[in-house]
A and B are shown apart, each in its own frame.
Chain A
């Protein structure tokens, strides 16, 4: 049974009504890693935010269900929804430099959810934090726990955020482009770390990225997004062998291969763009009458 099931989720901008998500459906089973791929602005991180209930105030959900561990979050009152998400899901943010509170030491930022939301005893939470910092290979974790965010490197801080996410043993983790803000050398280590942690803890992982290379190494299945609409949803193996949708193929062609870095990159052709635009228009007309 899939841990997260999103059905027909639509969202739009308040005021102008500009569509952000168009009836998105996907599901992530326990222990499975599902990728959300698309150009920037395609709505992939919006889905992650919708699931975790942190949509920007200017965006409103118009229809759909988000079932987390069998319960539709949208039907719960805000406070109840927040607590349930806090207890069962977690976020690995994109930019570690801004995701830690500069005026608080590291320790409370890792243990606060355990103590306040999950009701753990302080001692158990501190022990858990130490154990997780070891797991994410942070040298001298006692000193790190006492120090302030500005005293640590970007890579170190991302490891802490990963540790903090896994500390609560969440059933679902949303990783919102966790390596984009890091320099290349550190990206590989962090990717490897996330994959190992996910495998070890058996957490369902929703991995938002624009890098198909990452998807091929980490995810088991993926959804390709364009204009807030799921263009294709397939297992990774089938996708890389033969993507069904024209836009997916164009996207794959535009992605540099590690194996052949010098190959000239083919930008997504105009025709394909026109095709998928038409699809969007048709979808909207359908949605209006539906």
Chain B
């Protein structure tokens, strides 16, 4: 069925027929699925360059490529291209058994060589893999039958978690070496559920189902992902029926349309937080505690985000491994005023500092900071807002020159404490802003802790310490709104990736 009925030649007929204003009936069967996606896809190589660390486009990569290990919608790992994996007894070697009977999109067989080559390539600094510091801990990758063995140069407990996280993708060795980087960029192939049929930069990508996919052929045979960066345009696309699925629209629009369309809003592994830099007034614990206590997180979620958001008090979300529900930071306006008074501040003599935020990068980012500044103003904190671009945020953070407070979001679809509290709060890491020696001492030993249970307990203690001293102000776990036509049901993935192969006909 031709998806859209509109064309200029039929304009007169259409406008006459469009007498019945309202939603064009989109309930009839859909065979060509159209998704209005919110970001452009800059490059097809999921292992190098800035796009490799951009969480919002991992969904596109996961439709075409497979990761070493499959991550299920609840973030838990499951056998993927690797059926089993683990360390040897003294943790000097890692071993992986490779799934058999899998083929690349060009029909060539997928073998253990591809896995070994992909790991070696990721370990080689020359390829520019941004997660080289993890993959570099393995060396001397070798193939034995359908097993891959590698020596552990320095033990990292999270090595296997990275195999279903950023850059953890398996690329075709033979094909890549034949066509080279540029050739691969022009015609990428993987083992994933969909093959790339046609790619038009900044416009759309047309995918064809991989009938011999090892995880079962997907239901929709052809999928078109249109890149529609403007939220209002995405809503219009789905409302007018010219797209079937879209995501990341304002929550008010989600509420308005979830009745007439199918709506799914599930929490994802992305949190909103306020970085605190240990400079100026932020070195005073009273000011930090007051700032944390004065924020009515639930009211902000209810009023600004129409209730779509999960209040959090540590950098872990309920789905993460080291989540501890017992650590809480209540909303306590009186307590905040008391804490400020202890340091001689109050509504009449407010403490002053600058808070930085992006505007329009995450849903209502700027409005949330305005609301927080409003709440702070009541207790005697005078915060001046400075808007900057996301590029400037990264640079300031890398140079550790962020303002005393800076609003930012932190994705961590692996759910491991090292990639949330770890990198955000560990002094030496270029991404952290808090340089307190006490925290560095507590976190240091956890990097190499072999005993998993002891490691998780260690991170929970760190989170408790952080919450008590308000070294950072976690705010909320984002909820991802997805709207789809009546004919499509979407299974949301907790990592925030929108995966067409998880979509079924309603």
Quick check: do A and B touch in the complex, using CB within 8 A? no
List residues of chain B with CB under 8 Å of any chain A CB: none
List residues of chain A with CB under 8 Å of any chain B CB: none
